[in-house]
C-alpha cells in the first residue's frame, strides 16, 4: 500500500484545497468506512477521462502515468461501444448458452502456451488469486504457499493472508512462507537464480517439516509491490522447478504484468521462460470493467471443477465478455504490446539521461511500460529516500502528472501508464519529472 494514500481523516495541506473539494472530503468522512484512502497530499477530483488524460471539474488536464487498469486509455470508444451494445441487449450468466463466451475463451487461451488450455472467469484479480489458491490446494493436497517478501495478491481473506504488503495489522497465514528476491538483497545477476532457488527450497523444507507441504508458489511475475524487480530474466525458473519437484503448483499473478504490459510478451511469465500451472488475470482485462480469469492446465482445473466446483453469478457475464473481447481485439489489431515495448525503451532512455543530468535518481528498473525508479543519491538513509520519492510524486501531481510509489520502503516511484502511451506523452512526463527534481534540489 502506497504511503501517499491518505486515510480519510488525515490530509496534510487540506487548507489549500478549494472549498468544493474540502466539502466533498467532509462528506466522505461522514459516510465512508475508515479503510478508504485518498491519493496525494492534495487529493485530486476528476470528472472525466479520455485516453491518457484525466480532467478535474475546472477542465484542468492531468497526464496519467499511474493507472494500469485502463490499459487502452480512459473511456476507449470501441470498448465503451461494445459494453453499451451488449448491455442494451442482455446481461446474463454462464449457465445459459452464449457463443460470445466460448469465442472469447478460445481467443484468450490462444494467447497462452499450449499447455494452458482451460479458463474460468471471475470478476476481479483478488477473486482470481483466491480461486487459483483453492485449485492448487485441492490438486496438491497441501496447504503451503510461497510468496515474495512484499507481495500483494488481493483483498479476500485467503489472498490477504498471503499478501505481506498489507502490513503487520493483516496477519499472514501460518501456511505462508516469504522468500527474498535477489535484487533487493543485493545479489549480483549471475547469482540471482541460485539465490532464489535456495530461498524456495528452504521454504519447502520448512513447510514439509511442519506437515503443511507445498501447494503453490504464487508470484507476481513483475514483482511490482516489491519494487518492480524484473531482472535478470529467468531468475525464477529453478525455483519453479523446485516447487514442482515437491508436488506444488506454480501460479503466475498476471493482474499487473499481463496483457502486453511488459512489451516483448503478452504475459509477464514468458519473460522468465516458464510455463505456470495457473495464471490469474484481472484489472486491464476489461479496461476498467470488472472481469478477471484463471487460465490453467487442464488436469488441475478439471479435477477441481468436477469435484469442488466454482460458481459465480457475475463472473463471465455477457457484458463483461463483450468488453474483454473488444479489449483483446484492440490489443492485437493495434499492436499494443509492441507499442509498450517501444515507449518503454524511450522512457528508459530519457530517465537514464535525466539521471546523469540531475541528482536524485538512484536506479531504474523496467519491463516494457512498468517502471520502478529508486530515489535518493547513494548512501541516503531509508527515511530520506522515502521522503524524496513522496515529494517527487506530489510535486508531479501539482504539475499535472500522476504517478505513485512502491517497494517495502516506498522509496521507488511506480510508473505504469496506459499502454496507448505515445512519444509526446513520454516527453511530457520526462519534462515534468525534471522540473520536480529541480524543485526538490532548490
206-256 confidence digits (pLDDT tens) = 999 999 999 999 999 999 999 999 999 999 999 999 999 999 999 999 999
Residue ranges of the chain that CATH labels 3.40.640.10: 77-333
Helix residue spans in 249-335 (DSSP H): 298-307, 318-333
pLDDT value, residue 10: 40
Q: What are the start-end ranges of the H helices in 91-191?
A: 99-109, 125-140, 157-160
pLDDT higher than threshold 70 for residue 7: no
In the predicted model, is pLDDT for residue 107 greater than 90?
yes
Beta-strand runs (E) in 187-233: 214-220
pLDDT at 38: 86
Contact of 395 with 47, CB cutoff 8 Å: no
pLDDT band at 9 (very low <50, low <70, confident <90, very high): very low
Residue 177 pLDDT greater than 70, yes or no: yes
What span, in angstroms and rounded, lies between the C-alpha atoms of 36 and 406? 19
Q: Kindly report, residue by residue over 366-376, the tens digit of the pLDDT.
A: 999 999 999 98
- Percentage of the chain beyond pLDDT 90 is 79
pLDDT at 308: 87
CA 284 to CA 261: how far, in whole Å?
9
Higher pLDDT, 13 or 199: 199
Q: Tell me the percentage of the chain whose pLDDT exceeds 70.
A: 97
Q: How confident is the model at residue 1 (pLDDT cuts 50, 70, 90)?
A: very low
Is the bond preceding 232 in cis, omega lying within 30 degrees of 0? yes
What is the per-residue pLDDT for 408? 84
| Nearest alpha-carbon partner for 412 in 383, 379, 385, 374 | 374
263 confidence band (pLDDT: 50, 70, 90): very high
Q: Which three cell numbers stand for residue 68?
A: 494500469
* Span 44-75+336-441 CATH architecture: Alpha-Beta Complex (3.90)
Across 140-152, average pLDDT = 96
At 392, the pLDDT band (50, 70, 90 cuts) reads very high
Kindly report the average pLDDT of the chain as a whole number.
Answer: 92
| Kind plus residue range of the DSSP H or E element containing 250 | strand 249-253
- 106-115, 127-136, 305-314: least confidently modelled range: 305-314
Please say whether the beta carbons of 166 and 157 come within 8 A: no
Classified by CATH at the fold level, domain 77-333 comes out as 3.40.640
Distance (Å, rounded) from C-alpha 338 to C-alpha 284?
16
Contact between 145 and 139 under an 8 Å Cβ cutoff? The reply is no
pLDDT tens, residue by residue, 322-350:
999 999 999 999 999 999 999 999 999 99
17-57, pLDDT tens digit by residue?
Answer: 778 888 888 888 888 888 888 889 889 999 999 999 999 99
Helix (H) or strand (E) holding 382: helix 382-398
Half-sphere exposure of 5 (CA within 13 A, CB side): 10
216: β partners = 145, 249
**Residue 18 confidence (pLDDT):** 79
Residues forming CATH 3.90.1150.10 domain(s) in the chain? 44-75+336-441
Strands (E), 314-375: 361-367, 370-375
Does the predicted model carry a pTM greater than 0.85? yes
Amino acid at each position: 500500500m502506497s504511503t501517499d494514500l491518505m486515510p480519510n481523516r488525515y490530509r496534510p495541506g487540506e487548507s489549500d484545497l478549494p472549498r468544493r473539494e474540502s466539502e466533498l472530503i467532509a462528506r466522505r468522512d461522514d459516510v465512508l468506512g475508515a479503510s478508504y484512502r485518498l491519493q496525494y497530499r492534495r487529493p485530486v477530483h476528476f470528472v472525466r477521462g479520455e485516453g491518457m488524460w484525466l480532467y478535474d471539474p475546472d477542465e484542468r488536464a492531468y497526464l496519467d502515468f499511474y493507472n494500469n487498469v485502463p490499459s487502452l486509455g480512459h473511456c476507449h470508444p470501441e470498448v465503451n461501444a461494445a459494453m453499451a451494445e451488449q448491455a442494451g441487449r442482455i446481461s446474463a450468466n454462464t449457465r445459459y448458452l452464449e457463443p460470445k463466451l466460448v469465442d472469447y475463451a478460445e481467443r484468450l487461451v490462444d494467447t497462452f502456451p499450449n499447455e494452458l488450455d482451460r479458463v474460468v472467469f471471475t470478476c476481479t484479480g483478488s477473486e482470481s488469486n483466491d480461486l487459483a489458491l483453492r485449485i492448487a490446494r485441492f490438486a496438491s493436497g497441501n496447504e503451503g504457499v510461497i510468496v515474495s517478501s512484499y507481495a500483494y495478491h488481493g483483498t479476500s481473506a485467503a489472498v490477504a493472508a498471503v499478501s505481506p504488503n498489507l502490513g503487520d495489522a493483516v496477519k499472514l497465514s501460518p501456511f505462508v512462507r516469504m522468500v527474498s528476491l535477489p535484487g533487493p538483497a543485493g545479489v549480483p545477476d549471475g547469482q540471482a537464480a541460485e539465490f532464489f532457488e535456495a530461498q524456495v527450497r528452504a521454504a519447502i523444507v520448512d513447510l514439509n517439516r511442519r506437515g503443511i507441504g507445498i501447494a503453490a508458489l504464487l508470484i507476481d511475475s513483475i514483482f511490482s509491490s516489491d519494487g518492480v524487480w524484473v531482472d535478470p530474466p529467468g531468475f525464477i525458473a529453478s525455483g519453479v522447478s523446485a516447487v514442482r519437484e515437491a508436488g506444488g503448483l506454480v501460479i503466475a499473478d498476471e493482474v499487473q504484468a499481463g496483457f502486453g504490459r511488459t512489451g516483448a510478451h503478452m504475459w509477464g511469465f514468458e519473460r522468465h521462460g516458464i510455463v505456470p500451472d495457473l495464471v490469474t488475470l484481472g484489472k486491464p482485462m476489461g479496461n476498467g470493467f470488472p472481469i478477471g480469469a484463471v487460465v490453467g492446465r487442464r488436469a488441475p482445473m478439471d479435477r477441481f471443477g468436477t469435484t469442488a466446483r466454482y460458481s459465480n453469478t457475475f463472473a463471465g457475464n455477457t457484458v463483461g465478455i463483450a468488453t474483454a473481447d473488444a479489449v483483446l481485439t484492440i490489443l492485437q489489431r493495434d499492436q499494443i504490446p509492441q507499442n509498450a515495448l517501444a515507449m518503454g525503451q524511450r522512457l528508459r532512455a530519457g530517465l537514464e539521461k535525466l539521471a546523469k543530468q540531475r541528482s536524485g535518481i538512484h536506479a531504474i528498473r523496467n519491463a516494457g511500460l512498468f517502471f520502478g525508479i529508486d530515489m535518493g543519491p547513494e548512501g541516503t538513509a531509508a527515511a530520506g529516500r522515502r521522503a524524496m520519492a513522496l515529494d517527487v510524486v506530489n510535486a508531479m501531481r501539482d504539475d499535472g502528472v500522476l504517478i505513485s510509489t512502491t517497494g517495502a520502503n516506498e522509496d521507488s516511484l511506480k510508473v505504469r501508464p496506459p499502454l496507448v502511451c505515445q512519444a509526446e506523452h513520454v516527453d511530457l512526463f520526462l519534462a515534468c519529472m525534471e522540473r520536480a527534481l529541480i524543485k526538490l534540489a532548490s
